[in-house]
Structure 1
Amino acid sequence: MSESLLEKINNFVWSDFLLIFLLGTGLFFSIKLKFFQFFKIKYIFKNTIFLLFRDKSAVKTTDKNSISQFQALSTALAATMGTGNIAGVATAITIGGPGAVFWMWISAFLGMALVYAENYLGTVFRRKHDGCWAGGPMAYLENGAGKKYLAVLFAAFCALASLGMGNMTQVNSISTSLNDSFGIPVKLTGIIAAVLTLIIISGGIKRIGKASQYLIPVLSGVYIIGAVIIIIKNSVNIPETFRLIFTDAFGIRAAGGGICGAILKKSINTGLRRGVFSNEAGLGSSALLHSASDNTDPHKQGLWAVSEVFIDTIICCTLTALAILTSGAVSSGKDGVPLVTEAFRTVMGDFAPVFISVSVSLFAFATLISWFYCGECSVRYLFGNSGIPFYKFIFIFSVIIGAAAELKAVWTVSDIFNGLMAIPNLAGLIILRKNVKGE
C-alpha cells in the first residue's frame, strides 16, 4: 500500500468528525463529573499515587490470577509512556509548531474524564472467566450496552492496533535509536527484542506487570530529572516559550497579531492526535489493562487512570516539549528522537545520544510488552484461547518486521488504528453515560 493511500485513509479516519467526537465526549464527561480532574486533583493523587506509601495492599496482591494496583498503574503507564512522550512530542512540535503542545494539554485534560469513564465502566461490567478477570471496552459494550457488534469491532481494531501502535512503532524507535547511537544493525535489534518479548509475555500478565513495575518508576524518574535540568539551565527562555505555545496554539501570527487559519488547524490537529497517541485517552486500552487488577472499586480504578494521563502528558510530555523549546533545539532542523537528543546535548554533551537512545529503547520496550496484553485480551474475546498461540506468533514476527520498517509508514498505520479503536469505544461511553458516577 502506497504512502499516499495510507495518508488518505489516515486523514479520512482522523477527520474533524473524530476529533470533535473525542473532544465532545471528553467535555461531556468533564461537565457531568463537574471538572473533577481540575478541581479535585489533590484528592485524586491522595487516593492513588500517594496511597502507595500508605497502603501495602495497593503494592501487593494475594490473588494469583490478578495483578496489584501498583502493577496495573505501571503496566498502564508502560503502555502509554513510549515513543509518544519523546519522539511523538518532537514530531508534534515539528509538524504543528509549539502551539501543538497546548492542544496536547487539552487532549489530556478532557482525556482524564474519558479514561475515568472507561475504567469505571470496565470495572463495573467485567466478569471472571477461568479465574481471570475479563473487562475493558468489550465488557461494557457487550454486557452493559448490549452492543456485541461494537465489542467485536473494538476487539478487532485493538488487536490490529497492538501490532501497529503497540508493536511496530515502538520497536522501530528502538532499532533506529540504537542504530544511530551505537551502530547496531536494525535487524539484529529486532531479533533481540523479539526474544526478550517472547520471554516476558510467555509469563502472562503477572510477568508483564512485574517487568513494568521495575522498569517504569526508574525510567520515568531518570528521564524527568534529565529534562528538568535542561529546563532549569535555560530557565531564562521559559516565559518566551510559554508565550510562543499559547500564541501559536491559536494561530496568532508574530507580525500584526492576526489569526492564521492554516496554522491554527495544523496546530490543533497535530496536538490532539499526538496527545491521543501518547495518553491513549478515548481508545479504551487503559480499561483493558486495569481490568487485570485486583481492585474491584470502579471509582478508584477511574482515579488511577486519571493520574496516569496526568503523569504521561501533563508532566512527561510537557517536560519534553519545554526541554526542546527552551534549549533552542528546534533550530537544528531535526525531528523525532534526534531533535530530543539535540535538546539534551545542551546539558549532557556527547552523552546525550546514549541517554536518549537507552531511554527510548526501554520506554518503547515497556510499551511493547504491555500492549501485547491488550491485543491478547482482544484476540481471546474474538477467538477464545485457541487464537492466542497464533496471535503470539504474529506479534513476535511483527517485532522483527517493525525494526526495519520505514518510520513514516509505521506512524501513519498506527494513527489509523488509533482512530478506529476510538469510534466504537466512544459510542459505548455515550450509550452508558448514565452509568458513570463520581465518588
Structure 2
Amino acid sequence: MDKLMRLNTALNHLVWGKYMIFLLLFCGFWLFIRTGFLPLRHGILIMKKTIGSLFHKDEKKGITPFQAVSTALAGTLGVGSVIGVTTAITLGGPGAILWMCVSAFFGMMSKYGEVVLAIHYRNHSDEGYLGGPMTTLENGMHSKVLGVIFALLCIFASFGIGNVTPANTIAATIQTYIHVPPLIIGMILALGIGMILIGKSKGIMKFNEIIVPFVSVLYLGACIYLIILHADQLGHVFEIVLKDAFDLSSVSGGIGGFLTSRAIHYGISRGVFSNEAGMGSSPISHASVDDANAVEQGFWGIFEVFFDTMVVCVLTALVVLSSGLLSDGMDGAALTIACFEQGFGKAGGIIFAFSIIAFAIPSILGWYYYASECIRYLFTSKWVIHIYNGIFLILLVQGCCMQLSNVWEIADTLNGCMAIPNLISLLFLTETVVKLTKEYLKEIRSD
C-alpha cells in the first residue's frame, strides 16, 4: 500500500502540477474569449433555455435535458460539493474557495464546450445515443486510441470518485448516529443500488430527476439559515478568504510559484472534483438526450457548473468558515455535521446526514452510468457489463468498511488523468464549438 501511495503521489504531482492547472484555466478562458464572452453576453438566454424551459411542458418520451443534467449533477453534488469543500479548506486553506470559484467561472465554458462536442460527435444505434469525449476524440479528432484511453480511465475513476468515496461517506455518516457495522451498511447499500440498476439508464435518470432537486432545496435552505445565523462573521470570512487566496509566501515567486500555491492547487483540483469541468464525465449523460440541440444542451453544462460551485460549494464554505469550528481539528463529513448541529441542534446533524446520503446515492448512480456508457463504447459483448456490475457492487460493500485517508488523493489523480485527453479535444476542436455557437445565435436572432 505504501508503494502504491508513493506512486500515486508522484503521478498526482505530475497531473496536478502547474502545467495542468494552467491548461485547465486556459481551456476555459480560451473558449470564453472565442465564443464572445458567452455567459456574460447571453446570460438571460442561457437561463431561459435551462431553468426557464422547466416551466414548459415537455412532450419527449425519451431521456430529457433535465434528466441528463440531474444525472450530471448527481455525479458532482454531495461528496464533491460538500465533503470536497471541507477538504479543500482544511488542506488548502480558506483561500482555496476563491480559486474554486475562479476555476468554475472558466470551467463553465469548458463544460459548455465538452457538451456541445459530445452532442455533435455522438453515435446513434438501436440502443440509443452514445457520446462523450470518447466519441468526440474518435469522430472529431479521428483518434480511436485517445477515445479508448479516456473510456478506460473513466471506468477506473468510477471505482473511486463514484463508488468507494461516496460509499464510505454514507457509512461514516450513518455510524455517527446509529451503531451499525459498516459491512451491514455496505450490503444494504449494494442491494438498493443493484435494484435501481435493474431499470438501467432510464431508471437511473428518473430516480435522479426526482431526488436531486428535492435534496438540493432542503440542503441549500439549511445552509442559508446557518449563514444568516452567523451573519456577523461574514466580513471576517471574506477577509480571511482573500488574504489566504493570495498568500504566496510559502512558494517561490513568479508564475510557477503562483500556480503551485497550496490554495490554488487544492482549490482548482477540488473544484474540478466537484463540478467535473474539464474531466469530460458529465457530457456522457448529456449526449444521451433525444433530439438535443448541441448548443442548448451546452447551456445546461454552464448552469450545472454555476449551480454546483457558485451556489452549493460557496454556501457550504460560508457555513463552515462562519461557524468558528475550523480550528477544532475536524475534516470532511464530521466538520460539516458539527456545523449543522451547532445551528440546528441534534436535528441539524440528522438533516445533514439525510442530505449527504441522498446526494451520495445519485452520485454513485451517475458514475455507474458514465462507466456503463464507456463499457458500451469499448465492448459489444454483454458479459463485460455484468462483470463490471459485480465488481462495482462488491466495491460498494468494501468501500463502507475501508479507512479512506488516501482515497481523495487517488481520486484527484484519476480525475487529472481523465482530463488530459478531454482537454486535448477541447483545444483542437475549439473552432467547431465556435462555429456551432455562432450558427445557433444567428438562428435565434432571425426568429
How far residue 431 of structure 1 moved from its aligned partner, in angstroms, is 1.4
Q: Which of the residues 37, 40, 63 maps onto 2:39?
A: 37
1:133 to 1:264, Cα distance in 2 relative to 1, 3 A: closer
Alignment partner for residue 372 of structure 1, among 346, 365, 368?
A: 368
Could you tell me which residue of structure 1 aligns to residue 404 of structure 2? 407
Alignment RMSD: 1.6
Return 119-128 or 2-11, whichever deviates more. 2-11
User: Equivalent residues in 2 for 1:412-427 (5 A)?
Assistant: 412-427=409-424
Q: Is the 8 A contact 2:97 2:267 kept in 1?
A: yes
1:197-256 CA deviation, whole Å, 9 max, x = no partner? Answer: 111112111000110011101100000000000001111111221122112111178xxx
SS at match of 1:86: helix
Q: Equivalent residue for 1:272?
A: 268
Alpha-carbon shift at residue 358 of structure 1 (Å): 1.6
Out of 212, 218, 222, the residue aligned to residue 216 of structure 1 is 212
Of the candidates 114, 130, 135, which is equivalent to residue 139 of structure 1? 135
Question: 1:155, 1:379 within 8 Å by CA — same for their partners in 2?
Answer: yes
Q: Give the stretch that moved more between structures: 244-253 or 391-400.
A: 244-253
Which shows bigger deviation, 427-436 or 181-190? Answer: 181-190
Matched position secondary structure for 1:281: coil
**Alpha-carbon offset, residue 61 of structure 1:** 2.3
Runs of 4+ in structure 1 over 4 Å off: 261-264
1:153 is matched with which residue?
Answer: 149
Please show how residues 212-291 of structure 1 align to structure 2 within 5 Å: 212-251=208-247, 265-291=261-287
**Which residue of structure 1 aligns with residue 444 of structure 2?**
none
Q: Which residue of 1 aligns with 2:60?
A: 61
Q: CA deviation at 1:40?
A: 2.9
What letter matches 2:282 in structure 1?
S
Which string of whole-angstrom CA distances, capped at 9 and with x for unpartnered residues, describes residues 307-351 of structure 1? 011111100000000011112121222111111112212211122
Which segment drifts farther, 32-41 or 407-416? Answer: 32-41
Paired residues for 1:33-432 under 5 Å: 33-53=35-55, 55-57=56-58, 61-63=60-62, 67-251=63-247, 265-386=261-382, 387-432=384-429
State the alpha-carbon separation in 2 of the partners of residues 23 and 275 from structure 1. 12
Aligned to 2:17: 15
Distance (Å, rounded) in 2 between the aligned partners of 1:252 and 1:125: 42
Bigger mean CA deviation after superposition, 173-182 or 350-359: 350-359
Structure 2: stretches of 5+ with no match in the other structure: 250-256, 442-447
- Write the distance in 1 (CA, Å) between the matches of 2:240 and 2:428: 40
Distance 2:335 2:291 in 1: 40
Q: Shift of residue 51 of structure 1?
A: 1.3
Q: Distance in 2 between matches of 1:14 and 1:421?
A: 12
Contact kept in structure 2, 1:81 and 1:312, CA below 8 Å: yes
Contact kept? 1:248, 1:264, Cα under 8 Å: no
Aligned twin of 1:256? none
Q: Secondary structure at the match of 1:128?
A: strand
Cα deviation code 1:49-79 (max 9, x no counterpart)? 12101x211xx5223xxx1112112111111
- Looking at structure 1, the residues matched to 40 and 268 of structure 2 have their Cα atoms a distance apart, in angstroms, of 19
Asked if structure 2 preserves the Cα contact closer than 8 Å seen for 1:251 and 1:262, the reply is: no
Distance 2:158 2:74 in 1: 14
Q: What amino acid maps onto 1:217 in structure 2?
A: P
Supply the distance in 1 between the matched residues of 2:133 and 2:7 (Cα, whole angstroms).
Answer: 30
TM-superposed CA distance for 1:262, in Å, is 9.0
SS of 1:407's equivalent?
A: coil
Instruction: Using the TM superposition, give the Cα deviation of residue 264 of structure 1 relative to its aligned residue in structure 2, in angstroms.
Output: 7.5
Q: Once the two structures are aligned, what percentage of the paired residues are identical?
A: 38
> What's the counterpart of residue 257 of structure 1?
none
- Pick which of 234-243 and 99-108 moved more: 234-243
Residues of 1 paired with 2:291 and 2:399: CA distance? Answer: 35
Report if the CA contact (8 A) 1:123-1:291 is conserved. yes
Range 322-331 or range 419-428, more displaced: 322-331
Retained in 1: the 8 A contact 2:22–2:259? no
AA aligned opposite 2:192? L
Supply the AA of the counterpart residue of 1:33: T
Gapped regions of structure 1 (runs ≥ 5): 254-260
Distance change >3 Å, CA 377–CA 263, structure 1 → 2: closer
Offset, 1:125: 0.9
Q: Is the 8 A contact 2:248 2:258 kept in 1?
A: no
| Contact 2:21 2:259 (8 Å CA) reproduced | no
Q: May I ask how many residue pairs the two structures share in their alignment?
A: 426
- Residue 62 of structure 1 aligns with an amino acid whose one-letter code is K
